Chain A
Amino acid sequence: MRYRRWNEPSLGARLAAYAVLAFMHLPVLVIVLYAFTTADRTYEFPPPGLTFHWFEAAFARSDIWAAMRLSLSVAAVATVLAIVLGSLTALGMARGNFRGKESITVLLVLPIALPGIITGIALLSAIKSAQLDPGFWTIVAGHATFCIVIVYNNVVARLRRLPHSWIEASMDLGADGWQTFRHIVLPQTATALLAGGMLAFALSFDEIIVTLFTAGHERTLPIWFFNELFRPRERPITNVVAVVVMVVTFVPILIAYRLTRRGSA
């Protein structure tokens, strides 16, 4: 029997680990490749040829631009709301203990712990009961609810690592509450706040599960995409939009990743 050191992996284990990692990245490659294929009727692989044509065609479509504009504005408004309400929550929850803190913690986990469809159908039944017209603001309300939680999680983690003695020192040296916030708390949490905002933006831009319930007749880019999957007008254009969505969500996530890494190092 061959003897092996206790901490040395077998070749099989190594191969399996890298195989799973490759499997996890397969869809990225597929999406990028298919945006350039010349096949417009089938999902043929390997592609018969490569072309830039579909990018031009997608660029000329006004319905895509309209959906894109709507998604970007929803994400922007939801992110601003989330940054304000999320950081307020974090500042309140980071300090001390008070009655009801546990229940608030549970409340703050719910929007991401319960499946999105429950948030969606709950908002819809509330919208119908209140006889509101679903549209821009109902989409924003749905997105902001889980975006607040994302920002809160990011900021509260950073605040917990900020020693309370720093705040006391600042006050002892004669700074008032605003000065302490401006010169001590804000610089220490700014990257976490920004990272949370970036993640919130990306999540909102890409959200479909809740949005399908709250959008009414509005069409965000994910809804446009979803409709296109069932009633395709031009398949290759859907592929191009997939790449665009991927890039628009990926950039803020990469920035958020870098921000949190530098912040924790």
Chain B
Amino acid sequence: MRAVSTFLYRRPAVYVLMLLIPPLLWFGTVYLGSLFTLLAQSFYAIDEFTAKVVYQPTLATYEQVVTQPANVDIIMRTLSMAVAVTIACGLIALPIANYMVRYASPRARAFFYVGVMLPMWMSYLVKVYAWRLILAKQGILSWLLDTVGLGAALEALLRLPGVGGPSLSASYLGMFIVFVYMWLPFMILPLAAALEKVPESLLQASADLGARPVQTFRRVTLPLALPGLAAGSVFTFSLTLGDYIIPSVVGAPGYFIGMMVYQQQGTAGNIPLAAAFSVVPIVLIMIYLTLAKRAGAFDAL
């Protein structure tokens, strides 16, 4: 035993290798193996008559994804939703993150951190379901709006072309609300972390030099919080792009990338098309990451 431990202590490389071999075997075979199979599948195509996969490398499936108008529509719809959700999360997260970091007493700050983290960890599916209840035709939201006399405003909103629908739980507007709710903590937490790093002396100096709170916020706090905002937006953007549960539980008839992947592998049995579709969010996320990196998103992680 002693000889073994001395040997391992003297040769850290052997020690590290021994530790890492089992997990790396797992990740190498199960995870990377799967990812490469997926990538390989996307370069095959399905024979339209036999509905069987033809194992011959081709770019036909990718061509189908980026040229067929219906597929381009799906990509654009998902992308616009991801952008809208990211912007909304940023706008809502900024005041609350700023308040909890800057103004709240230590006790209140701890309360806020727990208050933001608990809903984030709450069962994903149950949260989505809860929103279906809230947004339903006779649900809480319409009851609340009726009670305060805004029922007609909701009706008018739902009649809007594009975002409306028969009820909030079957409209893009409702889906948007649910997405924003679901990913809000992922924006608040990195933003709060970035704001914690802003030195108070800068804010004091700004106030001393005569800036009003709004001016200080816009000219001092906001630029310094940008890395946190960028980091949070990576989460909100990527999570929205890949989700297929929310658009199928709450939402309008239009398809999203995730739903397309799920449907193509399932009922349609077209794994190559599903694989090629799933590469789209990866590419979009990589483009977004390069943009976010330029904004310094990873300094805050």
Contact = CB atoms under 8 A, between A and B. Distances in A.
Interface residues of B, number: 92
Interface stretch (B3-11, B57-65, B68-76, B148-156): B3-11
Contacts of A126: 30, 33-34, 37-38
Interface string B11-24: 01101110110111
A80 to B, nearest CB: 13
A197 to B, nearest CB: 15
Nearest to A129: B37
Contacts of A116: 242
B112 A245 contact: no
A176 B203 CA distance: 54
A229 interface: yes
Contacts of A16: 95-96, 99
Given A24-B116, A34-B133, A92-B16, A121 B278 contact: yes
A43 B133 contact: yes
Given A117-B278, A125-B41, A226 B126 contact: no
Contacts of B31: 107, 110-111, 119, 122, 145
B214 to A, nearest CB: 9
Most buried by A among B129, B136, B138, B242: B129
A190 to B, nearest CB: 18
Interface residues of A, number: 85
B207 interface: yes
A96 interface: yes
A38 interface: no
Nearest to A13: B99
B96 A27 contact: no
A21 B19 contact: no
Contacts of B41: 125, 129
B254 interface: no
A265 B33 CA distance: 41
A215 to B, nearest CB: 12
A225 B125 contact: yes
A123 B34 contact: yes
B99 A245 contact: no
A28 B184 CA distance: 16
B127 interface: yes
Interface string A203-241: 000101100110000000010011001000000001000
B126 A115 contact: no
A99 to B, nearest CB: 10
Interface string B262-299: 10010000010011001001100100000000000000
A126 B216 CA distance: 54
Interface of A: 4, 6-10, 13-14, 16-17, 20-21, 23-28, 30-31, 34, 42-46, 84-86, 88-89, 91-93, 95-96, 98, 104, 107-108, 110-111, 113-119, 121-126, 128-129, 141, 144-145, 148, 171, 176-178, 180, 199, 202, 206, 208-209, 212-213, 222, 225-226, 229, 238, 242, 245-246, 249-250, 253, 257
24 contacts: A7-B102, A9-B103, A13-B99, A21-B112, A24-B185, A28-B122, A31-B133, A43-B132, A45-B138, A86-B23, A88-B22, A110-B31, A114-B238, A114-B285, A115-B243, A121-B274, A121-B278, A129-B37, A148-B23, A171-B5, A177-B5, A177-B9, A213-B265, A246-B126
